[in-house]
Structure 1
Amino acid sequence: MIAAAVEALANQSPLLSDPNGGLLPDVTDIMEISAHVATAVVLEAVKQGLAEVLNETRPGTDDKVSIPTDFDECLQWVKAQMWRPEYRPLRLVEEKEPRTV
């Protein structure tokens, strides 16, 4: 599975399309890169018989959950399960009077 992760990351290298590109993808693409690496690892784990979904159904249905074996379908499956940071907007609050302790 480590080899699958390394190969998936290597396939995302900017050097493949730009001779002046970096070795590793830009950190701004981390969610997409992580999804590709995770998908490769999941598919390799399934191939080795080390991963399966047991007795899980889709919420509100009797449909069994299964791991897609097609890369693109599995990629979408992985992305649907990924945590995405969502933060509330911040605003500056200024004190009108200094606090006294």
Structure 2
Amino acid sequence: MTGRIAQSFMTTTANNLQGYRVTRELGVVRGLTVRSRSVLGQLGATLQTLVGGNITLYTELAEKARQEAFDLMVQHARQVGANAVIAMRYDANEITDGVTEVLAYGTAVYAEPLA
């Protein structure tokens, strides 16, 4: 389901959608996920740090967490009747060592194409 939930749904970090008029603001929507590294993932990432460069295990974990949070936000927006999210942002915080929350949030709106 990841990545497919957002099909035919508009999102932007801007405060408006070019070529569209917002006809209803439906409030703040969000998607939240909490992720941790597995013991094996931690070991693999530790070995990657010895070589230097991109730590791909962490990159993949971060991307999966952001995609899941994004999909949950879109799902929430659809539940309130939105066809778009404007002013979309991400936030992430470490809850405890190795456990991170990722939040995607924005303003749910219903937008119509300009005539």
Query: What TM-score do you get using the length of structure 1 for normalisation?
Result: 0.30
Structure (1 or 2) with the larger CA radius of gyration:
1
Name whichever structure is richer in helix by fraction: 1
Higher relative contact order (CA 8 A, sep 6+): 2
Query: What TM-score do you get using the length of structure 2 for normalisation?
Result: 0.27
